[in-house]
Amino acid sequence: MSNYSHLISDDIMQREYLDRIMSADQAVQMVKDGDRVYIGTASSMPDELNEALARRKDQLQDITVMCSNPKLPSAAIECGAFNTHSYFIGDQERRHYGEKTFDFSPIHLSQVDIWCQHIGRPSVAFFEVSPPDENGYMSYGASGVILHEYVKKKADRIILQVNCHAPYVYGENNLIHCTEANAIVEFDHEIGIIPDVGVDDTMQKICSYVLDHIKDGSTIQLGIGRVATAMGYLLKSKNDLGLHTEVIGDSCMELIKSGNINNSRKTYFPGKSLCGFALGSSQELYRFLDRNENLHFQPFPILNNPYNIAKNDNFISLNSAMSVDLTGQVASEGVGFRQFSGTGGQLDYVKGSQMSKGGKSFILLESTFHSKSTGKSGSHIVSTFDPGTVVTTPRSEVQYVGTEFGCVNLKNLSVKDRVKAMISIAHPDYRDQLYEEAKMYKLL
């Protein structure tokens, strides 16, 4: 029995849809030993299919499940019977990092098509999609547009999970037709959300240094997390902003609703907010995306292409970091040999924004940290990284770096001048130490 076949107006297409309807347990019988199964990304996770696959853990051998940053617990990962491969690590995958069954690919998100073709190489694809439109097309939903078309081209078996809560989004390569599926499972569930991080005084202070650089009419990259939330409040003083961002969150939604983002002065896709995927701290965001003609979703290789980013005049990119060294190297994905997230799209936007006419790039971070688990405190501005720490953005690409103690432009500075500038925005408690270390390493 189908809940959604009646939405298709053509009788033949309706029959094609109905012929593919089955239970999740029936659908995952298509998975065979040795398969590489793509199981979803971020807020597009087909959880019923993943549960059904986990129920087959004692029947299958040499299975690899592939995903990125799931926002709901995935039984296919947690069952412990399968290998896991991620191209951007989230909370759930992080718990398994370092296990023999876990692997990770460091890629720029603008090159996710290469990951699908040559690294991930899925043989089976699980996609969560919206209910069908009158022609039998279903949208890839809140997070699927970024890479599902590339996954579909590589996989030889496609299983769809239709979810009434998955938004029907517009854009490029945003749809899949019912006839392209080998099986269709209907299962409704609310989409995973992220915690509302709130705004503290320190992050507001950091972001305040950026505000004067953002003109009315600028196009911004504004994602999720503390930087995006703080900037979301501050940007209510700006007008006619454009949006071109890899991830859209609640702060972006609020700025669109308030009219601060209207894309009226954009030079690339004027009138449209461009985004790749969505992560909400509320279900309201996913409802906002549904059939919203003002939003245009694009796959990462198009959206995050620095040359496309640069087509926006006065582009402002805002990215966070875990640590920055005195010469401007940026570590944003891990500390030591511990991978925390992934390469992501940071360098794509750092490069694209500076190629933009009037554009600027900002790396923003708190000057210090305090670990609740270890009780240790320290500086996020360092003379040298811990062994194994990955450089996400090389110093040659970095422009502005900001903390709560100021914002400096490193682009046109020599190494010695960079070191002095970075010490000036470090926490006062660590400046003397950093100065002495800089002299010891002959940086000054």
Active site residues: 246
Distance, in Å, from the CA atom of 94 to the CA atom of 103, rounded to the nearest integer, reads: 11
Distance, in Å, from the CA atom of 407 to the CA atom of 425, rounded to the nearest integer, reads: 7
Closest by Cα among 272, 211, 218, 269 to 240: 218
Pull the structure tokens for residue 51: 């549960």
What's the angle, vertex CA 285, arms to CA 233 and CA 334, rounded to 5?
70
- Which amino acid makes up residue 401? V
Cα separation values, 21 from 45, 126, 178, 331, Å: 19, 14, 10, 47
Which residue matches tokens 């705004």?
A: 199
Residue 154: its H or E element: helix 148-154
Beta-sheet strands, E only, within 123-230: 124-129, 137-139, 157-162, 175-177, 183-186, 219-221
Contact call for residues 74 and 47 (beta carbons, < 8 A): yes
Closest by Cα among 411, 335, 333, 385 to 109: 333
Residue 150: its H or E element: helix 148-154
Distance, in Å, from the CA atom of 265 to the CA atom of 361, rounded to the nearest integer, reads: 20
Contact call for residues 255 and 261 (beta carbons, < 8 A): yes
